[in-house]
Amino acid sequence: MSTPRILVMAGSARRESLARRLAAASLAPLADKGADVELIELADYPMPLYNGDLESESGLPAAAVALQHKLFDCQGLLVVSPEYNGSITPLLKNTLDWCSRPNPADAERSGGAVYAGRAAAVMATSPGPMGGVRVLFHLRDILGYLGLHVIPQQLGVGQAGKAIGADGRLADERQQGMFDGALGALVDTARRLA
């Protein structure tokens, strides 16, 4: 069986981010299911707010090119986002937008090619009771538009501060089962698409 490479990213750079806590909790189960995993910290890929003039004058920021390379080399992507006013965070959208732009110096590995044909799963966290479920549909739509194959399984973890234990397991066993199921489906889909 092949070993798909899965990138995991949280849509928040906050130090105590709940989204990152769930993203980090996915690493061991993804590895157990046979994936080669890496947690991407968006803070390590700083990009200015997208502006077409910046792109015309200076091209892509180095961080966008570096992240494009990571994306190009993966077969699957897990995105865990907080919900900001019912949608994804500006940090996540800005990162996805910059990485969607073609880099003429790197024609093979840039633009749409970094996303298309790869598997993706979407998850959300919130300190509130709803688990950020509204962001899941926006995120699914955006990733689908970018050409990723977003698996049907998804998860919104509410009251995430309490729901995600220090051991990286979800306190609710049924929710942990859904988490495991979604991660397994992501690895299977990435493997089949590779």
Sites of contact with ligand FMN (CB under 6 A): 12, 14, 17-19, 82-86, 125-128, 130, 132
Helix (H) or strand (E) holding 163: helix 160-163
Using an 8 Å Cβ cutoff, are 140 and 154 in contact? yes
The smaller minimum CB distance to ligand FMN, of residues 48 and 86, is found at: 86
Burial-class residue 147 by CB neighbours within 10 Å (0-12, 13-18, 19+).
middle
The smaller minimum CB distance to ligand FMN, of residues 18 and 65, is found at: 18
- Closest by CA position to 153, among listed 191, 135, 180: 180
Residue-wise over 75-112: b if at least 16 C-beta within 10 A, else e? bbbbbbbbbbeebbbebbbbbbebbbbbbeeeeebbbe
Q: CB of residue 11 vs ligand FMN: minimum separation in angstroms?
A: 7
Q: How far is CA 190 from CA 1, 87, 151, 161, in A?
A: 12, 26, 10, 30
Q: CB of residue 49 vs ligand FMN: minimum separation in angstroms?
A: 15
Using an 8 Å Cβ cutoff, are 126 and 158 in contact? yes
Q: CB of residue 184 vs ligand FMN: minimum separation in angstroms?
A: 24
The smaller minimum CB distance to ligand FMN, of residues 14 and 162, is found at: 14
The smaller minimum CB distance to ligand FMN, of residues 14 and 192, is found at: 14
Position closest to ligand FMN via CB: 82
Q: CB of residue 175 vs ligand FMN: minimum separation in angstroms?
A: 17
Q: CB of residue 73 vs ligand FMN: minimum separation in angstroms?
A: 26
The smaller minimum CB distance to ligand FMN, of residues 59 and 127, is found at: 127
